A and B are shown apart, each in its own frame.
Chain A
Amino acid sequence: MRRLFLLGACLAATLLAAPLAAQERVLNVFNWNDYIDPYMVQRFTRETGIRVRYDVFDSLETLEGRLSAGRTGYDIVVPTSEPTFSRLARAGAFRPLDRALLPNLRNLDPALQAQVAASDPENRFGALYLWGTIGLGLNAERIRALAPDAPMDSLALLMDPQHARRIARCGITMMDSAIDVIPTVLHYLGKDPNSTDAGDLREVERALLAIRPFIRNFSTGGAIEALAGGQSCLAFGYSGDMIQAGLRAREANRGVAVQYVAPREGAQLWFDLLAIPADAPNPEAAHAFINFLLQPDVMAAITNHVRYPNGVPASRALVAPEVADDPAVFPPEALRARFFTIGPVPQAAERARSRVWARFKAGR
């Protein structure tokens, strides 16, 4: 049965990938949407002659579902360190990186590499691409008008019903992602963000249900539009999304100002890693791509474009000043000290968490 299933998937993958691969060198990339500077992809092709077929996903679930089935035909994927990357690495989904082909690995920040190693021992399978935090995107002016006493740098803005109730009038958008929100709430409540304890989860649920009436909608990708368009004045989501919302609001020039805040209670840190699937059809090209990306000028261009910090310190000098000086993009040391990372959770706990999430969304 299993063999039959794999055979089908394999057949589909070869049918899709094989004819082109035979004619020219092709690199198949599967990355988050809006997560690269497109000019850099063109530059890679110009420099190496390798054609890039670029495909995007918008949720870790999509990426993991595909990789779990195997035979995706992708050479490069960009999973987040926890939980997706670590889980897939343990499942044997990735090919170990060949360091001899990646001289630019030494450009990476050793301190960040050490943090990543918690999910990827010895940095065996992944090369750090971009990273960021999860926090609040807010329209300070409108929030201040509704809740003048609310702390603008705290998660309490969202999690304290006193504040959320008033802010609800200008709209609160919540990212639709249990794996990202629940650890943050655990941390906010003073618990271990990796806790699988049923009592802890019940407290999380209670806290979430208390603010449920004040949440206008659940959307991960839609938060950018909601904030920039003024339909929401507070959103919880990925730092880069919130910063992009601010940029877009400024471009629209309709008097909406959005900023990103990494909460002072400590923001959840995440890393997106470049990895090569175990069955990648063209691992050589994949290594070439990773090595290309890890150059300081390439990384600087990408950070300029997507507003997420990268793992190559030498790029900082090449990043546009307004980006380099934005504390939302490159958080100050004091704030960084309070960032936390999360680890893997057993499957039973995952289900318990997704239940909490389902009840939270349903408001029951």
Chain B
Amino acid sequence: MTPRLRRALVLALPAAWMLLFFAAPFAIVLSIGFAEPAEGIPPYAPLLRRGEDGALQLQLNMANLQLLLEDPFYAEAALRSLRVAAVSATLCLLVGYPMALAIARAPEGWRNTLLMLVVLPFWTSFLLRVTAWIGLLQDQGWINGALLALGLIEDPLRLLYTDLAMYLGITYCYLPFMVLPLYASLSRLDPALLEAAADLGARPWRGFLAVTLPLSLPGVVAGYLLVFIPAVGEFVIPELLGGPGAQLIGRVLWTEFFQNRDWPLASALAVVLLLLLVLPIALFQSRATRDAER
């Protein structure tokens, strides 16, 4: 095998992966987004059709896109989802940063155990964990039971099916995605830097702000995105824990796909959502790369 061929193969593998598992599905979803709904299996008309003269015709249906842009319903749901994702990611950051910092500063022998504990919940089913929260939060649940038994409240608090429960659930489920990249960037931090800051007169808190925090920013950004992106499309947790008022984009997609059986509209919505997420991140990435090169 020539080096050139080997290089080509090395590049071909990830390219094939991307093609097979991202580009091709994306193209399929995109093409359905331009189709017209129809009764049939699958429930939309093919894009390429033989016209009456026997020639192949490509029919692009722009009505889906138009509806998405014109009907504020979708934009509102998208905005609500972005807000929920932002709040969740921020909560994860606030909870996850001290955790990651504590693990990174723990004695060497403890770190793997602590990291293990962070990842441990992943060993049980996601649904099981969310359901466990229902058990905790419901009117007859553990929390209300404990508060009632202590005489702190007289009527059970409304915890389940609220925004609070939804944020709790999302923060809880996504926390490891925040802690792991934060830990990675914090543990790489040379402890001498913080000592240097202290040596130069920085009190611990100022040293943290001036050195630890800015140097862990890549981890913060990575963790934030890792939580934010899936949280935007999160469907299960708001459905199981959240109040009925939370019409998030994931639920809207579900409704379009399953309830209204409008695959083309659902596909168009999925594509728009993807672009909404990917474009800003791509812009951010290219700027970060440019900054790094400077």
**Chain A interface residues toward B at CB < 8 A:** 1-2, 4-6, 59, 61-62, 64-65, 67-70, 87, 90-93, 178-179, 217-218, 229, 231, 278, 347, 350-351, 354-355, 358, 361-364
Is the pair B42, A5 in contact by a Cβ cutoff of 8 Å?
Answer: yes
Interface residues in B100-120 by Cβ distance below 8 A to A read none
Docked Cα-Cα span, A362 to B40, in Å, equals 32
A91 contacts across to B, CB distance below 8 A: 39-41, 43
Binds A, one of B4-12, B204-212, B256-264, B272-280: B256-264
Q: Top 5 A-B pairs ranked by shortest CB distance?
A: A61-B258, A361-B244, A362-B245, A70-B41, A91-B39
Q: A1-B31, A5-B42 are in contact. Are A65 and B257 (CB under 8 A)?
A: yes
Main secondary structure of the interface of A (DSSP, over half): helix
Interface centre among A70, A229, A354 (most CB of B within 10 A): A354
A62 contacts across to B, CB distance below 8 A: 258
For residue B64, give the distance in angstroms from its CB to the closest CB of chain A. 12
**Total number of B residues with any Cβ neighbor in A under 8 Å:** 30
Docked Cα-Cα span, A93 to B252, in Å, equals 26
Of the candidates A2, A87, A278, which one forms a contact with B39 in the assembled complex, judged by CB atoms under 8 Å apart?
Answer: A87
A231 contacts across to B, CB distance below 8 A: 139-140
Is the pair A68, B244 in contact by a Cβ cutoff of 8 Å?
Answer: no
For residue A13, give the distance in angstroms from its CB to the closest CB of chain B. 13
For residue A25, give the distance in angstroms from its CB to the closest CB of chain B. 26
Could you list some 16 contacts between A and B, CB below 8 A?
A1-B27, A1-B31, A4-B28, A5-B28, A59-B258, A62-B258, A67-B41, A87-B39, A87-B261, A91-B43, A178-B259, A179-B259, A229-B140, A351-B262, A354-B259, A358-B255
Q: Which residue from chain B places its CB closest to the CB of A1 in the assembled complex?
A: B31
For residue B72, give the distance in angstroms from its CB to the closest CB of chain A. 12
B256 contacts across to A, CB distance below 8 A: 351
Of the candidates B42, B247, B259, B260, which one forms a contact with A2 in the assembled complex, judged by CB atoms under 8 Å apart?
Answer: B42
For residue B162, give the distance in angstroms from its CB to the closest CB of chain A. 11
Main secondary structure of the interface of B (DSSP, over half): loop
Q: A70-B42, A361-B244 are in contact. Are A354 and B260 (CB under 8 A)?
A: yes
Q: Which residue from chain B places its CB closest to the CB of A67 in the assembled complex?
A: B41
B42 contacts across to A, CB distance below 8 A: 2, 5-6, 68-70
Q: A68-B42, A361-B244, A361-B245 are in contact. Are A347 and B262 (CB under 8 A)?
A: yes
B167 contacts across to A, CB distance below 8 A: none
> B161 at the A/B interface (Cβ < 8 Å)?
yes
Is the pair B39, A69 in contact by a Cβ cutoff of 8 Å?
Answer: no
A5 contacts across to B, CB distance below 8 A: 28, 42
Docked Cα-Cα span, A1 to B31, in Å, equals 8
Interface residues in B32-49 by Cβ distance below 8 A to A read 37, 39-43, 46-47
> B60 at the A/B interface (Cβ < 8 Å)?
no
Q: Which residue from chain A places its CB closest to the CB of B44 in the assembled complex?
A: A2
Is the pair B247, A362 in contact by a Cβ cutoff of 8 Å?
Answer: yes
A278 contacts across to B, CB distance below 8 A: 41
> B142 at the A/B interface (Cβ < 8 Å)?
no
For residue A123, give the distance in angstroms from its CB to the closest CB of chain B. 20
> B24 at the A/B interface (Cβ < 8 Å)?
yes
Q: A93-B41, A218-B244, A231-B140 are in contact. Are A64 and B28 (CB under 8 A)?
A: no
Q: Which residue from chain A places its CB closest to the CB of B262 in the assembled complex?
A: A347
Is the pair A217, B161 in contact by a Cβ cutoff of 8 Å?
Answer: yes
Of the candidates B46, B244, B263, which one forms a contact with A362 in the assembled complex, judged by CB atoms under 8 Å apart?
Answer: B244
B140 contacts across to A, CB distance below 8 A: 229, 231
A179 contacts across to B, CB distance below 8 A: 259
> B73 at the A/B interface (Cβ < 8 Å)?
yes
Is the pair A64, B139 in contact by a Cβ cutoff of 8 Å?
Answer: no
**Given A351-B256, A351-B262, 9 extra CB contacts under 8 A:** A1-B27, A1-B28, A1-B31, A68-B42, A68-B43, A91-B39, A91-B43, A218-B244, A347-B261
B73 contacts across to A, CB distance below 8 A: 355, 358
Is the pair A347, B247 in contact by a Cβ cutoff of 8 Å?
Answer: no
Q: A2-B46, A91-B39 are in contact. Are A64 and B261 (CB under 8 A)?
A: yes
Interface centre among A68, A69, A231, A362 (most CB of B within 10 A): A68
For residue A59, give the distance in angstroms from its CB to the closest CB of chain B. 8
B161 contacts across to A, CB distance below 8 A: 217
A69 contacts across to B, CB distance below 8 A: 41-42
Q: A61-B259, A178-B259, A231-B139 are in contact. Are A363 and B41 (CB under 8 A)?
A: no
For residue A213, give the distance in angstroms from its CB to the closest CB of chain B. 12
Docked Cα-Cα span, A23 to B147, in Å, equals 58
Docked Cα-Cα span, A350 to B207, in Å, equals 59
Interface centre among A6, A62, A355 (most CB of B within 10 A): A355
Q: Which residue from chain A places its CB closest to the CB of B67 in the assembled complex?
A: A351
For residue A227, give the distance in angstroms from its CB to the closest CB of chain B. 14
B41 contacts across to A, CB distance below 8 A: 67-70, 91-93, 278
For residue B36, give the distance in angstroms from its CB to the closest CB of chain A. 11
For residue B165, give the distance in angstroms from its CB to the closest CB of chain A. 12
Is the pair A363, B260 in contact by a Cβ cutoff of 8 Å?
Answer: no
